[in-house]
Structure 1
Amino acid sequence: MIFPLGGIIIGALIGAIRAKKRGGTVMDMLQWGTAFAVMLGIVGLFVLVFMQRAAVA
């Protein structure tokens, strides 16, 4: 049940770090962090649904 939340947190960190490495401003870090958080949150949601349907968890 924690996969979507974990994906959101990890995605936000990855996005912010990538923007900072490329010399981005605070707004760039927020934008990249949000984009990556959404992407990895959706991936985490699909993993959670798959595990529930396969009765793994």
Structure 2
Amino acid sequence: MLYALLALVSLLLTAGSYYMYTNSGGNTLYLVSLIVFLIATIGLGGMFLSGRVNQKEDIHITE
């Protein structure tokens, strides 16, 4: 659940960075932070979703 919360916070920071980038006249600091937070959002979201997979049961090709 922590990964989901961190992904949501990272998504909000991505949106804020995009908003600041479009209103600042092209400041590259906001562009770099936008890219970093977007990668963090995707990574944390993937880690959250991969934890949801049932890893205790073996899945066989015959099933």
Please classify the TM superposition score into its range, dividing by the shorter chain length. Answer: 0.5 to 0.7
Query: Quick one: distance in 2 between partners of 1:44 and 1:37?
Result: 10
Partner of residue 34, structure 2: 34
Q: Greater helix share, 1 or 2?
A: 1
Kept in 2: contact 1:4–1:44 (CA 8 A): yes
Q: Which residue of 2 aligns with 1:18?
A: none
1:1-57, aligned counterparts within 5 Å?
A: 1-6=4-9, 8=10, 27-54=27-54
Contact 1:3–1:47 (8 Å) recurs in 2? no
Q: Which protein has the larger Cα radius of gyration, Structure 1 or Structure 2?
A: 2
Structure 1: segments with no counterpart, 5+ residues: 13-25
Unmatched 5+ residue regions in structure 2? 15-25, 56-63
State the identity as a percent: 5
Consecutive aligned runs of 4 or more in structure 1 exceeding 3 Å deviation: none
1:2 aligned partner, one-letter code: L
- Structure 1, residues 2-55: CA drift from partner, whole Å, max 9, x if none? 13124x27x86xxxxxxxxxxxxx811100000001001000010010111147
Q: Secondary structure at the match of 2:37?
A: helix
Number of residue pairs matched?
Answer: 40
